[in-house]
Structures are given as C-alpha cells and as structure tokens.
Structure 1
C-alpha cells in the first residue's frame, strides 16, 4: 500500500423507528476524494435516536450531535437489548475514545456507561475495560479517583455476584475473559469480599496444591500475597 491509496467507505445506519441491525449492506458511500459528504437518511427527523455503522461493519468511529448522544444514553439505560451487542460495544468504545480526544464531553460517555450495571455480555465490557483502564491511569492520585473506583465497583457488582470466583467446567470460552475483567477491577479498587476471598483461596492452594483456574490466578496471587 502507498499513501495515495484511497477507498470508498460504506455507510449504513439504523433508526429507532425500525431497529433492524441484521442487514449490514451499505446504504450510502463516502467517496475517497471528498473530505466531507452529506448523506440523506430517510425518516431521520421522525427517529428518537439513530446509530451509524451497524454491527461495526465499517472500520471507523462515529461521532454524533449532543442530542443523539443523550438519546443513545437514554435507550441504553432503559432497554439496552434493543441495540445489537456489537453496537453497544461500539457506542462505549466510540464515546470514550472521542471523549479522550476532546471531541465528546465525558459527561455523555459516563452517562452511557451507566447502563453497564445491567450488561451481561462480554463484548461491551471488553470495550469498557479499555476505557476504564485509561481513566484508572489518568485519575490516579486525583481528588476524584475514589469516586471513579466506587463507580466502577457499582457497575461491576452484579457481575461480581454472578461470576466472581465461581468458574465451572461448563463456562463458555469468553466467560473466563469476562471474569478476569470483573475480578481485576474489584481487586484493584478495594472490594473487601474479593480481596478476602482471594486470600483464603491462596491459603487453600498452599495447603492442597490444587491448581487454580487461569481466570482467577492473577486476582488470587496479587490479593493473597499482598495480604
């Protein structure tokens, strides 16, 4: 490839009036020679919200006006299942990365993230994990860091209760990754039950030498040895 290579960018969208995410074929194109192009979206004025890039079929980020960001936050916090899981992850990923670059106010990204307290799928949480990991670094030592930690603990509380250290042979492959995310936040952000359980499991491991599951090893070793 060379720096002169250009491509037509396919664009598709979904409206609140017809939330069908299955058809991901292009509904419009952005020509390679245009820095900006206007695309008419039929029915847009009648829609409460809209999403561009169904199922993240295009390799690009999407920014919205403040009204649509607020509308997306509203639908996610009320009926998030209405939006395809890949687009839930996309919205989280786009909102926080655009906020990181100053293109979106963090208020919208955080308001959107509130819905995660009811999110059970791994994919949106993988996007949130990257976003929160960045905020963990930049907020460390600040006067609001404890508020951020408490917020993430509140969001992960239902998953900590359901996943926790309760790995089984029937777990799906991604469940191990999901559990690792949840345990990592709860260990590092001071969930006492998480830390105490990890310390107890380490003591049991020292006694029995029964191998710990891979998805809980980091939490058990780090919490247990620190204690």
Structure 2
C-alpha cells in the first residue's frame, strides 16, 4: 500500500472546517500563511496547506497535533464489533474490517463517554488491549483521545495517574518500534513520532533527560540567538519540566529573535512557551511582558497567539482567567473603556468559550 492511501492524523482537513475565525487566523499566522480574508478563504488556504505532501516532519507532527486538539465527532456511532484482541507484531496494515471497526469502536466509546452516555471507566478499560496492539490504524484514535482528556484534566488530582496510564500504554509500543531506519515505511515513522511526542508530554524520563541535555547545548552556544539546535520535539518538555531559569532563557530568545531568521521559528517558540508551561508564575510573566510592558517585539498577533495557546489546556485557561481577575482595571484601561477593541473582545471571548 502506498503511504498516500492511508490517512494519518495530520493529513485530514475536516477539523479545519470546525474552527472559528480567530483560531484560523492564529494557525495561519503560526505557519506563516496569509491571515487575511473571510472564514471560507482562510479554511481553504489552511486546507490546501495541510494537504501539501512536502512538509517537514516537524510541520507534519504539528498538523497532527492540531487535528487531535480540534477533532470532534464527525460520524454517527456504529457498534456491534466483537474484536479478536491479541498481541500482534508491528506491520503495515490494510484498512480491513477488523482494524477499521476496532478504531471506530474506540472512537465511539470515547465520544459516548464525553456525552455522558458511557462511564469513563468503561471507556478506559476498552483501551487495555492497546498495550498489545500494533496496528497503526487502530492507534490513530487513541492518540486523539489521550490528547483531549489530558488537556481537560491537567489541573485535576487524577492527572498524575492519567500520565502513568499513558506511560504504561505507550512505552511497550515505543520500545518495539526501536530506532528509526532510513528505508522504513512512512506509517512506522509517523507512529514512532506520535508515540514519542505523547510520551514526552506525559513525563517519559528518557525524553525529559534528552530535552534538558538539548536545551543545555543551546544555552552553552556562543550566540544562542543565531540558531536553535533543539529539535521541536524537545522544546515543549524542556520548558514544561524545566526550571524557571530555563524557561526564562526561552523567553529571552523570543524577545531577542533576529529579524533575519525565519519568523515561523519564533512563532513556534512563543507558542511553546505559552502552551507548554503549567506553572502560573511563568504564564503571568509572559502575559505581563506582552500586555503591559509595551515591548516592541510583542505584537497584537503575538497576544492572539498567547491567548489561543493558553486555552488549549485547563491549567492555561484557569491561569488566564486569574490573570484577568487580578489585573482587571489595568487591562480594561489598556484595551479601552468602551470594550470595543478587537483585543479586548478576543480576550473576553476566549475566557467565555
């Protein structure tokens, strides 16, 4: 089977047609696309970009992450599958009846749980066989569900247990995938990339160690503003699990980012600083700097991006709300007493979604 015959998470475009205009503008800005035009034009522009087959692995992984973030129920439930579950070796799988129905069974179970029609305990139990499953088609919806629930409970006391669940589920798969081979099929490369990305987000110790070592190399370069030697995979865990000093180093790189470099790299770095940080003091510092300190390097588009990135998780959303509560008067004065500026509307609208 040719790689193009199988739909991987980042290759779909249906999620783009569910986005509101401010989300379309933020994503277009992130990828360096023209962010002007009507909603239909923006959706068409992003869809064309997402379907381009010449993306780098980082952009493909980012598109997959966005699809996971915005994925919603797109098809009606279809139950009645009695899967023959057992340990299967890694192999490229045709979209046969078993694999497609198992994937849909997981998809429907989680959507029923979100709707309150099925207990989450049952939905979680239905994923237990995935520890032995090696069909990449069946794994696709699992990554979506891990992403969705992880963002919703990252401030809950059960989040630590959820991270342990993710590590238990994904570690055997990642170990069996092994090191990348240049001649291996695309499906295996994509599966490895997604597996490691979600392991890193859940605190996988080898990944955190690699991320910290990569950041240390960057910190020790003669001119850290010249280039970023850290792979995109490691930037988020480095800032999420790193110290305030390490996070501050990343913030300084955004502030001092040279205009001669590709600006999409700055956009990705800023989005990561905002979206991957869970400590309120980091987020407060970023908001204070971008809103109140009138820094020439922080534009209105940067503020849009920061707000959108923070609302991707419950911790960011909660911190953004607390920041507005603590600084209501100066923010109101900043954006106008008539509340008619675009930024004020976007801030309030973001918190009311």
TM category (shorter chain) comes to: 0.5 to 0.7
Instruction: Give the number of the structure whose residues are more often helix, by fraction.
Output: 2
Aligned residues: 154
Q: Which segments of structure 1 move beyond 6 Å, counting only runs of 4 or more?
A: 79-83, 202-207
Aligned to 1:89: 103
Equivalent of residue 60 in structure 1, options 55, 76, 83: 76
Q: Unpaired runs of 5+ in structure 2? A: 1-74, 90-95, 222-228, 243-353
What are structure 1's unaligned runs of at least 5 residues?
1-58
Higher relative contact order (CA 8 A, sep 6+): 2
Matched residue SS, 1:60 = coil
SS at match of 1:141: coil
State whether residues 212 and 238 of structure 2, in contact with CA within 8 Å, keep that contact through their aligned partners in structure 1: yes
The RMSD of aligned alpha carbons is 3.1
Q: Is 1:188 the counterpart of 2:210 in the alignment? A: no
1:225/1:139 CA distance change after superposition, 3 Å: closer
Higher strand residue share: 1
Report what 2:233 is aligned to: 219
Distance, in Å, in 2 between the alignment partners of 1:80 and 1:163 is: 13
Partner of 2:166: 152
Aligned positions of 1:75-224 closer than 5 A:
75-76=84-85, 78=86, 84-163=98-177, 166-200=179-213, 217-224=231-238
For 1:204 and 1:176, the matched residues in 2 are separated by: 26
Q: Secondary structure at the match of 1:62?
A: coil
Assess, with a 3 A threshold, how the Cα gap between structure 1 residues 92 and 217 changes in structure 2: closer, same or farther. farther
Alignment CA distance shift 1:153-1:222 (3 Å): same
